[in-house]
Amino acid sequence: MPERKINNFVIKFANVNGSGSASANKLFARSILRMGVPVSARNIFPSNIQGLPTWYEVRVSEKGHLGSRGGVDIMVAMNAQSWNQDQLDIESGGYLIYDSSRPVPASKFRTDITVIGIPITDICNREFKDPRQRQLFRNMVYLGALSSLLAIDIAEVERLIQEQFSSKEALVSPNVQALHFGMDYAAEHFDCPIGFRVKRSSSVGSKIFIDGNSAAALGCVYGGATVAAWYPITPSSSLAESYEKFCKTYRHDHDTGRNSFASIQAEDELASIGMVIGASWNGARAFTCTSGPGISLMQEFIGLAYFAEIPAVIFDVQRGGPSTGMPTRTQQSDILSCAYASHGDTKQILLIPSDPKECFDFGYQAFDFAEKFQTPVFVMSDLDIGMNDHLTDPLEWNDEITYDRGKILSKESLDELAQFGRYLDVDGDGVPYRTLPGTHPSKGAFFTRGTSRDRYAKYSESGVDYQDNMQRLQRKFEQLRTQLPAAIIEEGKTKASIGVIYYGSTEPAMKEALQYLEEDGVSLDSMRIRAFPFGDEVSEFIDSYDRVFLVEQNRDAQMKSLLVSECNVDPNRITSILHYNGSPITARFIRSEITQSLDALKPSRKRKSISQKS
């Protein structure tokens, strides 16, 4: 049996949503992790509550390739609706595992795959009385069967069940029972383990398994956010819900019953960003989380925050656009509408995490940036990072970290001050001083407004005052860009003349692709952009290569637009690799696009819309 089938395969569970499969599938992934083998797991779900097809894809990869791979080695086909397509998706030589309770004629099966039937429904009907149990335990039965088939240590699964139901002890034993029914059936009827299998390893190390939204939410807790205002929208709701959950653990005083946080489900996105702005203006750290449609609705308020210089932290968990688009699919297509959010001349800070760990880091750092620079900060996550569990470095916190509240004048400093001017550029860095309401009986009060004003925050229609202010804002952005997380540059094995730029959730696929390309003899240096406005390293990187690829998960090469107009880069030097069908980008795709492009590309001056690849 080829070594490459051990700890190296993709298994996909095809279920009906609302049928309780999610927790069983997650148990599956975690049991492999417990055996020390890296996995990545992705939920592919419909915009629906119950009855439509949903999939859970687990990639097992000893080497730690955690991007979506593409293709399926083992399909656990539990949904009649998607049966045909599911079977087609299996790579030749793969396995189909299905519920054989109802006989399926042999002609209905592909012949280039191995078919494994487990009479799951029959087993459940035989062993359980309660109809709900009969339904629910089907998932445990296939999980049991898989442990036999794939050589998963059943003890790990049992331990996980025990941990999961620690508060509902009674549920443990029937679940374990169901597990064993499946395990035993498979062991008896098939040659176990099959070709693909799991072997204990130590590749997971100290890594943790967590979704980006939870990690970002914990970042907000650690970053000292006390006010959350949000409106439900996929795929961002779980960020707010996790924040509330964590706050109930970490911010609830059990003696007094009081909370040191306030989370408000607002009436819509306009209200949620308004609340964030109000709270931040009044000195609390506040955030909202949303997705594309919410970003569109927040545009007016974001312009106010930019112009009146009010901190605000906005998590944009991107999904497929435009409009309602593909609400349960992933994309990186809000780059432009966030970077230049709102009418008039505006520019916004973007932080772009690539995994849950960075969601946590940027989660807490965003509040420092927002307060230090007195401006909105977007954390540009996406559905792939946000809603899927990823194997990621453990979250890190150092108790020396302090909150940088920026230039806020206390009562004492106001007492000493001759004259306070809200929009004076005292330090020459474009960042003015602010005061919080209620601080001082006679000094420091000012009027915040979205209209033009002078340096003392007094309403002014003078073109001179207006321009003075707009230029200070420009200075502020010019200096802050070097203080944001710098792009991460990695060099290929051999001196490369080609560079590749990418960002966000593309990282695991990109890293894997770089490795393949290296194997193909193509060495590339890479740069992962982590923030906008860009630091100097970004244009320097581009300048250093004959040819630069830019990999994005959107149709219109939005990051390229930002790069060429902000870094004065000749767009002809950048070749876009664009993936935007809503599924996470894969190493296979990147490798093949880059390979093809290197074969064919000559420097040309065609219109972007033609020269773009998809």
Partner 1 sequence: MTFIAKPKLRHPELQRNKHGFTRRDYEGAVSTLCAGCGHDSISAAIIQACYELELPPHRVAKLSGIGCSSKTPTYFLGNAHGFNSVHGRMPSVLTGANLANRDLIYLGVSGDGDSASIGLGQFAHILRRGVNMVYIVENNGVYGLTKGQFSATADRGSKSKRGVENHSASIDLVMLAIELGATYVARGFSGDKSQLVPLIKGAISHRGAAFIDCISPCIAFNNHSGSTKGFDYVREHNEAVNFLDVMTPRDEITADYAPGSVQEIKQHDGTVLRLRKISEDYDVHDRVAAMHYLQKSKAAGDIVTGVLHVDPESPDLHDTLGTVSAPLNSLGKKELCPGKSAIDKFNAARR
Ligand X SMILES: Cc1ncc(C[n+]2csc(CCOP(=O)(O)OP(=O)(O)O)c2C)c(N)n1
Shortest distance, position 68 Cβ to its own copies, whole Å: 12
Q: Can residue 350 be called a binding residue for partner 1 (CB under 8 A)? A: no
CB neighbours of residue 326 within 10 Å: 16
Amino acid sitting at position 111: T
Size of the site for partner 1 (CB under 8 A): 92
Q: Can residue 394 be called a binding residue for partner 1 (CB under 8 A)? A: yes
Shortest distance, position 327 Cβ to ligand SF4, whole Å: 14
Residue among 31, 175, 288, 583 that touches its own copies (CB under 8 A): 583
Residue among 83, 230, 306, 545 that touches its own copies (CB under 8 A): 306
Cβ-based nearer residue to ligand X, 176 or 271: 271
Cβ-based nearer residue to ligand SF4, 19 or 581: 19
Is 349 in contact with 369 (CB distance < 8 Å)? yes
Q: What is the DSSP letter of 504?
A: G
Q: Can residue 322 be called a binding residue for ligand X (CB under 6 A)? A: no
Give the three-state DSSP class for 163. helix
Task: Give, as ranges, the residues between 593 and 612 that touch its own copies (CB under 8 A).
Answer: 605-611
- Give me the sign of the Cα torsion angle 598, 603, 608, 610: negative
Amino acid sitting at position 530: R
Candidate ranges 279-287, 492-500, 523-531, 554-562; the one touching partner 1 (CB under 8 A): 279-287
State CA 418 to chain mean position distance.
48
Q: Where are the alpha helices (DSSP H) in 190-309?
A: 212-222, 237-250, 269-281, 292-308
The one of ligand SF4, partner 1, its own copies, none whose footprint includes residue 280, by CB under 5 to 8 A per kind, is partner 1
Q: Can residue 259 be called a binding residue for partner 1 (CB under 8 A)? A: yes
Cβ-based nearer residue to its own copies, 412 or 478: 478
Residue among 260, 324, 451, 462 that touches ligand X (CB under 6 A): 324
Q: Can residue 51 be called a binding residue for ligand SF4 (CB under 6 A)? A: no
Q: Can residue 418 be called a binding residue for ligand SF4 (CB under 6 A)? A: no
At what angle are helices 356-373 and 463-480 packed, to 10 degrees?
A: 140
State CA 181 to chain mean position distance.
37
Residue among 403, 488, 491, 546 that touches partner 1 (CB under 8 A): 403
Shortest distance, position 596 Cβ to its own copies, whole Å: 18
Pairwise CA distance, residues 365 & 307, whole Å: 22
Residue among 232, 322, 344, 438 that touches ligand X (CB under 6 A): 232
Is 388 in contact with 362 (CB distance < 8 Å)? no
Q: Can residue 265 be called a binding residue for partner 1 (CB under 8 A)? A: yes
Residue 87 burial (C-beta neighbours within 10 Å; 0-12, 13-18, 19+): buried
The one of its own copies, partner 1, ligand X, none whose footprint includes residue 139, by CB under 5 to 8 A per kind, is none
Residue 505 burial (C-beta neighbours within 10 Å; 0-12, 13-18, 19+): buried
Candidate ranges 135-143, 168-176, 345-353, 396-404; the one touching partner 1 (CB under 8 A): 396-404
Give the three-state DSSP class for 459. strand
Tokens of 527: 């740069």
Name residue, tokens 């000195």.
Answer: 283
Residue among 297, 408, 489, 569 that touches ligand X (CB under 6 A): 297
Pairing of strands 114-118, 574-578: unpaired
Q: Can residue 417 be called a binding residue for partner 1 (CB under 8 A)? A: no
Q: Can residue 231 be called a binding residue for ligand X (CB under 6 A)? A: yes
Q: Which residues have CB under 8 Å from 403's CB, separation 6+?
A: 223, 224, 285, 367, 368, 371
Tokens of 36: 């020390």
Pairing of strands 349-351, 531-532: antiparallel
CB neighbours of residue 288 within 10 Å: 30
Q: What x/- string results for residues 290 through 329 when contact with partner 1 is judged by CB under 8 A?
A: ---x------xx--x------------------xx-----
Q: Can residue 570 be called a binding residue for its own copies (CB under 8 A)? A: yes
Name residue, tokens 């998809």.
Answer: 614
Which of 605, 496, 508 has its CA nearest to residue 553? 508
The one of ligand SF4, partner 1, its own copies, none whose footprint includes residue 253, by CB under 5 to 8 A per kind, is partner 1
Q: Can residue 447 be called a binding residue for partner 1 (CB under 8 A)? A: yes
Residue among 7, 9, 46, 49 that touches ligand SF4 (CB under 6 A): 49
Q: Can residue 207 be called a binding residue for partner 1 (CB under 8 A)? A: yes
Pairwise CA distance, residues 507 & 496, whole Å: 19
Pairwise CA distance, residues 574 & 466, whole Å: 37
Cβ-based nearer residue to its own copies, 138 or 453: 453
Cβ-based nearer residue to ligand SF4, 49 or 170: 49
Tokens of 173: 């034993």
Q: What x/- string results for residues 438 through 457 when contact with its own copies is judged by CB under 8 A?
A: -----------xxxx-----
Cβ-based nearer residue to partner 1, 369 or 549: 369
Shortest distance, position 275 Cβ to its own copies, whole Å: 18
Kindly list the residues in this chain that would bind ligand X in the complex (CB under 6 A). Answer: 231-233, 269, 293-294, 297, 324
Q: Which residues bind ligand SF4 (CB under 6 A)?
A: 49-50
